[in-house]
Structure 1
Amino acid sequence: MRILFCNYEYPPLGGGGGVVNAMLAEELAHRHQVTVLTSCGPNLAAEETLNNVRIIRVPVYTRRQMAAANFPSMAAYIMNGLRYGTKLLQKEQFDIINTHFALPSGPVGHSLAKNFNVPNVLSVHGGDLYDPSKFTSPHRHFLLRMWVNSLLHKADAVVGQSRNTNENVTTFYDAGLKPALIPLGINRPHFPSTTRQELGFTDQEKILVTVGRQVSRKANDRLITVFSRLKQDNCKLVLIGSGPQQESLQALANQLNVADKVVFAGFVSEEKKYALLANADLYVSTSQHEGFGLVFLEAMAANLPVMCYNHGGQTDFLEHGKTGALLELNDETAFLNELNRLLSDPSLAQQIGEYNKQKVEQYFIENCAKEYETLFESLLKDSKGVAAGSSRS
């Protein structure tokens, strides 16, 4: 198949939605011809091929950060994505378009599919439908809801990556829609043999780690606040990722007298991320909502117990008491109690970690790619059947 992905964000831009798109594209590129139409960021090439995936980046002008987007750059992607995408499809044929995120990618994928008679699969990731941390979340505004609802209806197929995402489709947009459910996946991680000492830690310290952009939805201010109340003195909290809230979070750590115990690792390579996960004792997150939660899978693959809230797509695969702790949203007392319990019982933490390593096997990217492949092939078969019926009539 000749597959075109439309996604406003693609690594190194953005967060989990772009990352999983890249993993899916690279896995499918083993068997198919794959192109990605995305947006350009600081110091990125306008076009290149990485891991057999052709990446075309359209100019968006106003984007200054890799981790965080802004409205002018989103609007520019809709305009330039259509312009560059039209030129691309005038020269080349594609069998299927897979659009990731209802907004801002949705209008691009829909228009290209309509104008060039190509089936369009719209993959929704959660935050493009419902983000409780943002006033601008589409579910809060009538016109945005209507726009998203229209894009959902016009797609040839809609895919959600979790039951929670699909429930948000029917709750906030249209109860009659029936999105397909295709769980996301991660590449099978390769954990380096880096030691704690090489990372700047000691064997006596308990290391808590979290991965994600420093944005309001991740609520790392809550995580630092809970961490400051821990009973254990020999703990370090490692925050992997960058973003617009980093300075305010550093100020909060200073204010709570834990600046020497909170490590802001910033944006790191995949190798260092996996080294930090492999040397940690516990994965922690106070994120307000996750469409799926790829980082939880990475933590599970590293034999880590996972602690987070029960609001989001991670409830499809995380189980309270088995994979760690799955707690009521923003119940910081319960979060602190579970933290103290797991940190004080290494044998329990080890038992949970071993369970997680086995459970994560079903969530590697090859499984996700096969399900998308099956869906694409089904749509193409149906579209050819319709075309044949039209020609006979």
Structure 2
Amino acid sequence: MKLLLSAFSCGPGWGSEPGIGWNTVEQASRHHEVWVLTEAGWQERMGGKFDPARHPNVHFVWVRIPTLDKLVDGGPLNNGLGWLAYYYLWQLAALREARRLHAEHRFDLAHHVTFGKHSVPSHLHKLGIPFLFGPVGGAEKAPHGSFYAEFGWKTRLAESLRLLHVRLARSDPWLRACVKRAALSLGVTRESAEELRAIGSPNPDVLPAISLPDEEAQALAALPRHPSAGENEKLTLLFTGRLLAWKGIHLAIRALAQSDRSHLHLRVLGDGPERGYLEQLAKNLSVADRVQFSGSVPREEALRATTNAAGLLFPSLHDSGGYAVIEAMAAGLPVICLNLGGPGLFVNEDCGWVIEADTPDQTVEELAHALRAFADSPEERHKRGAAARERCLNTYTASVRGEQMERRYAQIALRH
């Protein structure tokens, strides 16, 4: 088939949104000829990482909004709101280019890939050909606002505005048309799939967007493992990510203090605006000597930390994805997480400890219980870590994700 993909953010060798875009493009091109609408700034960002000779089925088409692109990319509008407005308007520019390309190539299917935001419409359904929307996310949330009660008013206001945006998006007529007319809408999590249904999708499905390149997954799986295993020896859990309130590190520190296992330690890789508060929290709870804040570290140091860790503690409250989780799983680390968002989808009880989050106190108590179980049973840690590696290699690699998407392309083609 001839496919038209919209990937505002797309670049080989990148993580997050551009990585999702590129992995989708690369996998689709194994079976189809693919044209890719991409924000023009990525032509320079890619540099020499894209080799047309290695990917003869991939044709990039660069789309920009003149003048406005300079204002948002390093200009006075280089902020979240500026980029959101640019992205929304870029979809209209992409539609104009899509119509020109469709008149020339007669595509069989159109697919919106990135950004993976459920709240901003694509207009590719207006081409009159089968259209796939997603996977998209953004509707994930904590059970209620009390999980942020200990943080300042700015944090609580930001979260309230984010949830208001999710609700208001349901009234966007362009978004409703996009979702209703899609042959298939995909949510990255159960929460986002249900939000797509609320917007008007008759048949939303769940498919995580993130995956690891196969070579990277195999390299992580081959890392040597040197965690302490003896009774009462220092046992280190990792957290990897930005230090934001919704990442739930405050819950991790409180659970560590409540666990009553003094040989359990937490190493935090990453930085962010809540670092000062979290360091003070560890001091107040008398666990400062067991919580190491390492800041942002090079990839090589992060890999060394992984080899010496016994598990990943990742109590995020509304992650749509969670690369840290699937990377840890690939490396054979059991994961302790909440049954929310992407991590709650990636991890099951065979490969970690998944905690229901109803209230902050209950969540901390159950996290502490999981930490005690983790600390007290080396055999269980090893078993669940091995299962985590197997689950990642069998489910969360780029080639597996490509096969899953290919099945959906085939199903849509059969129906149309």
TM-score by length of 1: 0.74
Q: Do structure 1's residue 348 and structure 2's residue 380 form an aligned pair?
A: yes
Aligned residues: 367
1:97-124 CA deviation, whole Å, 9 max, x = no partner? 32245747843x32x441x444321114
CA deviation digits over 1:369-393, x for unaligned, max 9?
A: 122123224434555xxxxxxxxxx
Change (3 A) 1:222 1:365: same
Partner of 2:185: 158
Alpha-carbon distance in 2 for matches of 1:43, 1:228? 49
Paired residues of 2:125 and 2:181 also in contact (CA < 8 A)? no
Alignment match, 2:45: 45
Q: 1:30 to 1:97 in 2, by over 3 A?
A: same
The residue type equivalent to 2:400 in the other structure is N
Report 1:134-149 matches (<5 A): 134-137=159-162, 142-147=167-172, 148-149=175-176
- Contact 1:161–1:181, Cα closer than 8 Å, also in 2: yes
**Which structure shows the higher helix fraction?**
2
Relative distance call for 1:157 and 1:22 in structure 2 (3 A) is same
Equivalent-residue separation in structure 2 for 1:216 and 1:38 (angstroms)? 32
Contact 1:23 1:365 in 2 (8 A): yes
The structure-2 alpha-carbon separation of the partners of 1:292 and 1:47, relative to structure 1 and needing over 3 Å to count, comes to: same
2:131 maps to what in 1? Answer: 120
Partner of 1:239: 268
Aligned to 1:72: 82
Give a deviation string over 1:295-351, Cα, whole Å, max 9, x none.
Answer: 43332222211111112344445333x322111214102212221331232222112
In structure 2, the gaps of 5 or more residues are 146-158, 228-232
Q: Which of 278, 296, 299 pairs up with 1:266? A: 296
> Where do residues 253-292 of structure 1 align in structure 2 (5 Å cutoff)?
258=288, 261-266=291-296, 268-269=298-299, 273-291=302-320
CA contact (8 A) 1:7 1:99 kept: yes
Q: Specify the alignment match of 1:26 in structure 2.
A: 26
Please list, as runs of the form range in 1=range in 2, the aligned pairs for 1:1-393 lying within 5 A after superposition.
1-10=1-10, 16=16, 18-39=18-39, 45=45, 50=50, 52=55, 54=60, 56=62, 58=64, 59=69, 61-62=71-72, 70-83=80-93, 86-87=96-97, 90=100, 93=105, 94-100=107-113, 103=117, 106-107=120-121, 109-110=122-123, 112-114=124-126, 116-127=127-138, 129-132=139-142, 134-137=159-162, 142-147=167-172, 148-170=175-197, 172-174=198-200, 177-184=202-209, 185-188=211-214, 189=217, 190-191=219-220, 193=223, 205-229=234-258, 231-241=260-270, 243-246=272-275, 248-249=277-278, 252=281, 258=288, 261-266=291-296, 268-269=298-299, 273-291=302-320, 293-320=322-349, 322-329=350-357, 330=360, 331-363=363-395, 364-380=397-413, 382-383=415-416
Q: Any gaps of 5 or more consecutive residues in structure 1?
A: 198-203, 384-393
Contact map agreement 2:13 2:49 (CA 8 A) in 1: no
The Cα of 1:287 is off from its aligned counterpart by 0.7
Q: For 2:270 and 2:63, how far apart are their aligned partners in 1?
A: 23
Amino acid at match of 1:263: F
Residue 243 of structure 1 deviates from its aligned partner by 4.9
Q: CA deviation at 1:193?
A: 4.9
Give the AA of the match of 2:239.
T
Name the CA distance, whole Å, in 2 between partners of 1:211 and 1:168.
28
Q: Name the Cα RMSD after superposition.
A: 4.1
- The Cα of 1:4 is off from its aligned counterpart by 3.8
Equivalent position amino acid for 1:121 in 2? L
In structure 2, relative to structure 1, the CA distance for the partners of 1:358 and 1:142 (3 Å cut) is: closer
Structure 1 pair 89–27 and aligned structure 2 pair: CA distance change class (3 A): same
Match of 1:146, SS state, is coil
Q: Which amino acid aligns with 1:157?
A: L
Cα contact 1:60–1:80 (8 A) shared by 2: no
Contact residue 48 and residue 56 of structure 1 kept, 8 A: no
**One-letter identity of the residue aligned with 2:213:** N
* Paired residues of 1:130 and 1:168 also in contact (CA < 8 A): no
Amino acid paired to 1:79: L
SS of 1:264's equivalent in the other structure is strand
Q: CA deviation at 1:41?
A: 7.7
Structure 1 distance, partners of 2:36, 2:250, is: 35
Moved more, 229-238 or 9-18: 9-18
Please report how far the alpha carbon of residue 45 of structure 1 lies from its aligned counterpart in structure 2 after TM superposition: 2.6
Distance (Å, rounded) in 2 between the aligned partners of 1:81 and 1:47: 24
Distance 1:102 1:283 in 2: 26
Deviation of the 1:153 alpha carbon: 0.8
Cα shift readout 1:174-209 (whole Å, capped 9, x = no counterpart): 4x7211344554333113657879xxxxxx642211
Alignment partners' CA distance in 2, 1:339 and 1:214:
21
Take 1:360 and 1:229, find their aligned partners in 2: how far apart are those partners? 31
State the shift of 1:43 in Å.
11
Residue 273 to residue 145, structure 1, CA distance change in 2 (3 Å): farther
Task: Please say if residues 255 and 364 of structure 2, whose CA atoms lie closer than 8 Å, have aligned partners that are also in contact.
Answer: yes
